[in-house]
């Protein structure tokens, strides 16, 4: 039981082992046994009676949400779970106690399916243990999203934040406004040049979107694996793809808009007028209806250029009619109006930290402070629940080393050790502020993640470190974690994950030439963090930060 990841609260090692042969029986309440079976697919456990079952499961609500206790003795495995998620996570821990072949899709002949005897008591340190996947900049087919859910589940991560819309693409069907996916879901080319170089493009069309049925499937698949899908439609900025489809919603509707073919941020912005609010609430409802239960809905609110609002006589008149003094106040009002509409449908709104700094949020709005600890603490002190998402060390589009052998990253460097050392709720904060930190999440922005293989490389094993921090509630012990993550890589190998080796990229994972090669030192992450902190001190901080 030495190499479990994330680390359980209590691990006691006994003597001897138990066999759980493929096809063994599992007994207990059907929702719990189904969860254990799903966590151990290769074993194909069969429902049976308690007297003959190798695995017995019972519900114990006293353990709390997502918690479990598991005892392994010579006569089999006994699991007590606080709920279905707890049973599923007990199954994932049991999977790690088996040989690494338990992570394969089919039985490997000659495997000894034994587990060491002992006891595990476990439960999460944070309720929000997230992974953010940007499918707007670089679209990922549905199969990659489902695979990401599987990888999250085996690491006890439970929030999949899907960034579904940005300047570079709109990624979900709308039956009410079909031009969103017919026009906004594709671009004719993508930039290949680095910042400061002469513009160059690949000339290759890029696109794709999920149907509403796809969303329903993704959500159901995730729920079965204790993962909640958190959709994001980023407004009112990051709107080029929306406005390419429906330019009448722009602050300057006379302009011509296109899906952006380069990285960075466009000044294109949705108008804050009632027609836009009606449009967005209709689209939000479509997405929520497709997903089913939507406890959280992210509406962005970040990096908005408000100049076109100030220049519009119609928008200025609307602002005055609301009794608002500035476009910053109007930005806050607009997001509050959308949050109120989402609340009527049972969803809590989530925003990036610019929306908090500009004020007027609903008290139940969750803030993701990407610009660092200082703005996170201010949001917590103001009474908002916070999910820690700082660029350092939770932006996995940054390279893992300042080396030209790395594939191109936004900057450098964020290492596995950096992630493992992160404290989402710093111990020096007052307890009431620490209690407001409900979780932590890593971000996979996809300007430099063009496909699933690159997603694997960026996400793992840094995602293993994020899972450790999220589940245990604080930093990992460096030496102990290093040993456990190295052993855990054998499980990822069996699962088929093309992770970044701890020693550096494999020959075929290196950056190659041109835009795919990393430029060491071009963007230093700690310089970025100092700059972001300075920007977050101003209430007029909705403008793009980089």
Long-range Cβ contact pairs of 380-386 (< 8 A, separation 24 or more): 380/429, 380/433, 380/434, 380/436, 380/437, 381/433, 382/356, 383/436, 384/356, 384/436, 385/436, 385/437, 385/438, 386/436, 386/437, 386/438
Question: 346 phi and psi, to 5 degrees?
Answer: 90, 15
For 500, the 3-state DSSP assignment is coil
- For 131, phi then psi, to 5°, come to -135, 125
Residue 526: in which H helix or E strand, if any? helix 525-536
User: Encoding tokens for residue 157?
Assistant: 């991560």
Where b means 16+ CB within 10 Å and e means fewer, 396-410 reads bbbbbbbbebbbbbb
* d(C-alpha 369, C-alpha 354), whole Å: 8
Contact 24, 46 (CB under 8 A): yes
Residue 303 a catalytic site member: yes
Catalytic residue, chosen from 121, 182, 217, 303, is 303
What phi, psi does 494 have (nearest 5°)? -65, -35
Q: Nearest Cα to 288, choosing from 226, 349, 241, 201?
A: 349
475 by Cβ neighbours in 10 Å (0-12 / 13-18 / 19+) ranks as middle
Structure tokens at 32: 């719990």
H or E stretch covering 463: helix 462-472
3-state secondary structure string, 338-364? HHHHHHHCCCEEEEEHHHHHCCCCCCC
Positions annotated as catalytic residues are 303
């Amino acid at each position: 039981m030495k190499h479990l990841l994330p680390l359980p609260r209590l691990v006691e090692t006994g003597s001897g082992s138990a066999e759980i042969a493929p096809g063994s029986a599992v007994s207990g309440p059907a929702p719990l046994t189904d969860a254990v079976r799903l966590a151990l697919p290769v074993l194909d456990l069969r429902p049976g009676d308690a007297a003959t079952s190798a695995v017995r499961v019972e519900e114990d609500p006293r353990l709390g949400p997502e918690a479990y206790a598991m005892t392994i003795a010579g006569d089999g495995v006994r699991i007590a779970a606080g709920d279905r998620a707890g049973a599923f996570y007990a199954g994932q821990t049991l999977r790690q106690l088996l040989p690494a072949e338990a992570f394969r899709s089919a039985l490997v002949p000659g495997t000894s399916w034994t587990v060491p005897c002992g006891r595990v008591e476990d439960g999460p340190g944070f309720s929000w243990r997230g992974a953010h996947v940007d499918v707007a900049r670089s679209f990922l087919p549905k199969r990659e999203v489902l695979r990401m859910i599987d990888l999250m589940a085996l690491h006890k991560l439970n929030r999949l934040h899907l960034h579904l819309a940005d300047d570079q693409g709109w990624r979900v069907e709308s039956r009410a406004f079909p031009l969103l996916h017919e026009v906004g879901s594709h671009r004719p080319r993508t930039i290949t040049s680095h910042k400061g170089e002469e513009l160059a493009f690949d000339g290759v069309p890029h696109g794709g979107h999920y149907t509403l049925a796809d969303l329903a499937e993704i959500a159901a698949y995730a729920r079965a694996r204790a993962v909640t899908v958190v959709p994001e439609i980023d407004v009112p900025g990051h709107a080029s793809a929306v406005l390419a489809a429906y330019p009448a919603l722009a602050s300057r509707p006379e302009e011509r808009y296109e899906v952006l073919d380069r990285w960075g941020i466009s000044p294109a912005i949705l108008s804050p007028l009632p027609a836009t609010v009606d449009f967005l609430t209709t689209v939000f409802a479509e997405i929520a209806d497709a997903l089913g239960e939507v406890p959280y809905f992210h509406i962005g609110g970040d990096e908005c250029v408000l100049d076109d609002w100030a220049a519009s006589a119609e928008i200025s008149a609307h602002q005055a009619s609301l009794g608002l003094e500035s476009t910053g106040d109007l930005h806050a009002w607009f997001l509050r109006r959308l949050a109120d509409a989402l609340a009527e449908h049972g969803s809590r709104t989530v925003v990036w930290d610019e929306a908090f700094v500009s004020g007027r949020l609903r008290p139940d709005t969750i803030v993701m402070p990407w610009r660092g600890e200082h703005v996170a603490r201010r949001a917590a002190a103001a009474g908002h629940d916070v999910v820690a998402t700082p660029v350092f060390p939770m932006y996995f589009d940054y390279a893992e080393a300042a080396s030209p052998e790395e594939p191109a990253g936004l900057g450098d460097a964020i290492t596995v050790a950096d992630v493992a050392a992160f404290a989402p709720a710093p111990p020096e904060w007052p307890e009431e502020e620490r209690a407001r930190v409900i979780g932590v999440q890593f971000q996979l922005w996809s300007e430099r993640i063009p496909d699933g293989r690159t997603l694997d490389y960026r996400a793992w094993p840094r995602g293993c470190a994020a899972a450790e921090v999220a589940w245990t509630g604080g930093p990992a012990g460096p030496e102990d974690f290093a040993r456990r993550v190295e052993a855990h890589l054998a499980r990822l190998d069996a699962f088929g994950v093309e992770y970044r080796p701890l020693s550096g990229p494999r020959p075929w994972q290196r950056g190659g030439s041109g835009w795919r090669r990393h430029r060491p030192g071009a963007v230093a992450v700690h310089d970025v963090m100092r700059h972001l902190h300075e920007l977050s001190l101003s209430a007029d901080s909705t403008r793009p930060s980089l």
